């Protein structure tokens, strides 16, 4: 079964969040629907507001760590709204998402406000899974983005600074939400190196760190890109510290890319796997001969033998060219995929 089936239950109310972090919602002071970021990541949020005929979707609302933003002004309509969020591309380790299984259209490249069309691709848009949020107050409602560390707003702000310092190449110690001597020294060094005054606000510092981290991230790691007209589900394999390992899935919309390793590459042997959706069929890579294990959902597997005995399945991966200066970009083209098999997904 292709992993795409996990994302096809349109309007499944109260779906579980699709990352290790989640939402909480509750009434709170402030007029309107407020979003609060209690994580150590910069978050970009999109919201969907239903009316009698359709759902209007708007994005992207940026939330720095430890901050709140008003998403919808009062008066509110007590009913289900919809919410999806992603982390800034400045952050390493692959993108994190908060969402669910209600499929709505977004423009992933910039700000937008649209009445959700029946077909996203025809409008140059992409599908994302939104989570229903039941707003029960006409005046005030707050939805929190959280992670397992259970930060409050103050510690989330501090942890966000620590994370961005690390991702900008400035070591600041642990990401724990407590600004100690090492973090203060790192901030001082960063301000001095970049010619910024010591009075720079946290908000301005976070904005500056985000841009530095984005630029730094473009020059390292392993990126997969989809140059086909269809959705591709992708995975990679490499030799890790514990032996061969395989990881996936990354969903690549038509024309989209994902940075699957965000650190300088070590070694020269890397492999890729792809499943391209073609109507009701799945097409796999035609020139693939190296067997690794893959899972039916998101996976990270050590070892490449006896996959089925561990409830995985065996898939044939293709070798990539060697990295250039510890960086690698692999592009999936339609010509790389075999003709669709006769079996449905």
User: Is residue 91 a contact partner of residue 163, using CB atoms and an 8 Å limit?
Assistant: yes
Q: What is the pLDDT of residue 13?
A: 27
pLDDT value at 341 more than 70:
no
Same domain for 49 and 116, yes or no, is yes
Q: What is the pLDDT of residue 81?
A: 96
Which band of pLDDT confidence, cut at 50, 70 and 90, is reported for residue 25?
low
Quick one: average pLDDT of 259-268?
80
Q: What is the pLDDT of residue 38?
A: 97
Same domain for 198 and 116, yes or no, is no
Q: What is the pLDDT of residue 256?
A: 84
Quick one: average pLDDT of 284-306?
91
Which domain-ending residue is among 162, 185, 216? Answer: 216
Same domain for 203 and 268, yes or no, is no
Note the pTM of the prediction, 2 decimals: 0.65
User: Is residue 156 a contact partner of residue 66, using CB atoms and an 8 Å limit?
Assistant: yes
Q: What is the pLDDT of residue 27?
A: 46
Q: What is the pLDDT of residue 74?
A: 92
User: HSE (CB half, 13 Å, CA atoms) of 250?
Assistant: 27
pLDDT value at 219 more than 80:
no
Same domain for 60 and 179, yes or no, is no
pLDDT value at 263 more than 80:
no
Q: Give me the phi and psi of 150, to 5 degrees please.
A: 60, 50
Same domain for 162 and 212, yes or no, is yes
In percent, the amount of the chain with pLDDT more than 70 equals: 89
Q: What is the mean pLDDT of the chain?
A: 85
Which domain-ending residue is among 126, 146, 166? Answer: 146
Same domain for 261 and 325, yes or no, is yes
Quick one: average pLDDT of 332-338?
93
For residues 171 and 184, what is the distance between their CA atoms, to the nearest angstrom? 11
Same domain for 211 and 226, yes or no, is no
Structure tokens at 336: 């790389």
Which band of pLDDT confidence, cut at 50, 70 and 90, is reported for residue 123?
confident
Same domain for 128 and 186, yes or no, is no
pLDDT value at 122 more than 90:
no
The total of structural domains in the chain comes to 3
In percent, the amount of the chain with pLDDT more than 90 equals: 57
Q: What is the pLDDT of residue 73?
A: 93
More confident position, 5 or 250: 250
pLDDT value at 100 more than 90:
yes
Same domain for 206 and 257, yes or no, is no
124 assigned to some structural domain? yes
For residues 335 and 153, what is the distance between their CA atoms, to the nearest angstrom? 49
74 assigned to some structural domain? yes
User: Is residue 234 a contact partner of residue 258, using CB atoms and an 8 Å limit?
Assistant: yes
Containing 153, the helix (H) or strand (E) segment is helix 153-167
pLDDT value at 176 more than 80:
yes
Q: What is the pLDDT of residue 344?
A: 44
Quick one: average pLDDT of 298-323?
92
Which domain-ending residue is among 118, 146, 174? Answer: 146
Out of 20-29, 46-55, 98-107, 310-319, pick the least confident.
Answer: 20-29
DSSP-assigned letter for residue 280: T
211 assigned to some structural domain? yes
Q: What is the pLDDT of residue 36?
A: 97
Range of the domain at 44: 3-146
Which band of pLDDT confidence, cut at 50, 70 and 90, is reported for residue 326?
confident
| Three-state secondary structure of 115-183 | ECCCCCHHHCCEEEEEEEEEECCCCEEEEEEECCCCCCHHHHHHHHHHHHHHHCCCCCCCCCCCCCHHH
Distances (CA, A) of 62 to 13, 37, 97, 105, 325: 25, 10, 14, 18, 33
Structure tokens at 72: 């919808």
Structure tokens at 202: 């946290």
Same domain for 79 and 125, yes or no, is yes
Q: What is the pLDDT of residue 298?
A: 84
279 assigned to some structural domain? yes
Same domain for 244 and 119, yes or no, is no
Structure tokens at 310: 């561990």
For residues 146 and 144, what is the distance between their CA atoms, to the nearest angstrom? 6
Q: What is the pLDDT of residue 226?
A: 92
pLDDT value at 30 more than 60:
no
Same domain for 227 and 181, yes or no, is no
pLDDT value at 128 more than 70:
yes
Closest CA to 164 of 111, 200, 217: 217
For residues 164 and 268, what is the distance between their CA atoms, to the nearest angstrom? 29
Which band of pLDDT confidence, cut at 50, 70 and 90, is reported for residue 14?
very low
344 assigned to some structural domain? no
């Amino acid at each position: 079964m292709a992993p795409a089936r996990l994302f096809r239950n349109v309007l499944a109310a109260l779906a579980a969040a699709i990352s290790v972090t989640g939402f909480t919602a509750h009434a709170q002071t402030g007029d309107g629907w407020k979003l609060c970021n209690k994580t150590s990541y910069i978050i970009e949020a999109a919201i969907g507001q239903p009316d009698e005929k359709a759902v209007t979707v708007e994005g992207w609302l940026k939330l720095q760590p430890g901050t709140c933003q008003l998403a919808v002004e009062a008066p509110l309509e007590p009913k289900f709204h919809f919410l999806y969020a992603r982390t800034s591309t400045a952050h390493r380790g692959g993108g994190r998402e908060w969402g669910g299984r209600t499929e709505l259209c977004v423009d992933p490249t910039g700000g937008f406000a649209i009445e959700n069309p029946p077909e996203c691709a025809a409008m140059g848009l992409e599908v994302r899974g939104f989570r229903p949020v039941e707003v029960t107050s006409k005046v005030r409602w707050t939805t929190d983005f959280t992670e397992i560390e259970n930060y409050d707003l103050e510690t989330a702000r501090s942890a966000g600074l620590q994370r961005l310092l690390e991702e900008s190449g400035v070591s600041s110690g642990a990401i724990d939400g407590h600004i100690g001597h090492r973090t203060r020294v790192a901030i001082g060094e960063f301000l001095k190196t970049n010619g910024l005054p010591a009075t720079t606000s946290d908000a301005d510092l976070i904005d500056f760190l985000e841009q530095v981290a984005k630029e730094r991230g473009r020059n390292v790691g392993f990126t997969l890109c989809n140059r086909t007209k269809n959705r591709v589900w992708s995975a990679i394999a490499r030799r890790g510290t514990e032996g061969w390992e395989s990881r996936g899935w990354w969903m690549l919309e038509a024309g989209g890319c994902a940075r699957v390793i965000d650190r300088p590459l070590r070694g020269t042997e890397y492999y890729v796997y792809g499943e391209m959706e073609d109507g009701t069929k799945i097409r796999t890579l035609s020139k693939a001969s190296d067997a690794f294990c893959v899972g039916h959902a998101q996976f990270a597997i050590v070892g490449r033998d006896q996959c089925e005995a561990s409830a995985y399945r065996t898939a044939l991966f293709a070798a990539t060219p060697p990295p250039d200066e510890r960086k690698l970009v692999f592009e999936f083209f339609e010509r790389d995929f075999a003709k669709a098999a006769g079996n449905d997904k």
